Amino acid sequence: MNQDIDKGKIILVAIAVVIVCSGIALGFMVGSGKLYQSKDDADFDPMMDGVDTDAVGVYQKISAEEIKEMIDERPFIPILDVRTKEERMVEWIDGSAHIPDFEIADRVESEFKYKDQIIFVHCQSGRRSAMVAKKMVDMGYTSVYDIGGIIDWPYETVK
């Protein structure tokens, strides 16, 4: 009977060690950013094929076709609409976030916490999206892509 208790204690200790080690490993993963899409992980992502992930400190212009392909495969990539509320009420890309260009400095960091996540930015014609993309890069965002204007978006929108 004493041997049964000793085996039980050994099993409990082994389980406790596994749980502690798993917690430590998870802590390292969270600390290193491995639980969310990171710019450093982009080399291993087939959806990033053809996207210049080494361009740090500059935003990139990307075609609607490239964006659509990426969104179809990974619909959680945010699209940021920087037009006014009135412009957005006329037409918008389904699922897009909305922060008017004049509110970017005040709101973007609270709504997009991970500065190395991929973010697509668009406006009406492309002028404001370029300015906002540059502003976001200046704020430390590293994977900002300028879609341009919704007037050039050839895919479905909500009206």
Per DSSP, what are the bridge partners of residue 81?
98, 122
Radius of gyration of the chain measured on its C-alpha atoms: 22
End-to-end CA distance of the chain: 75
Backbone angles phi, psi at 113, to 5 degrees: -70, -35
Query: Residue 94 above 80 pLDDT?
Result: yes
Whole-angstrom distance, CA of residue 117 vs CA of residue 38: 6
And the tokens for 156? 């479905």
pTM (whole model) above 0.85: no
Which amino acid type is present at position 62? I
Q: Assign domain 39-152 one CATH number from 3.30.230.70, 3.90.45.10, 3.40.250.10, 3.40.630.10.
A: 3.40.250.10
Query: Residue 106 above 70 pLDDT?
Result: yes
Band (pLDDT 50/70/90 cuts) for residue 12 is low
How buried is 96 (Cβ within 10 angstroms: 0-12 exposed, 13-18 middle, 19+ buried)?
buried
pLDDT of residue 137: 94
pLDDT of residue 36: 31
pLDDT of residue 14: 58
Query: Residue 29 above 70 pLDDT?
Result: no
Contact 118, 40 (CB under 8 A): no
Query: Which of 37, 71, 64 is CA-nearest to residue 143?
Result: 37
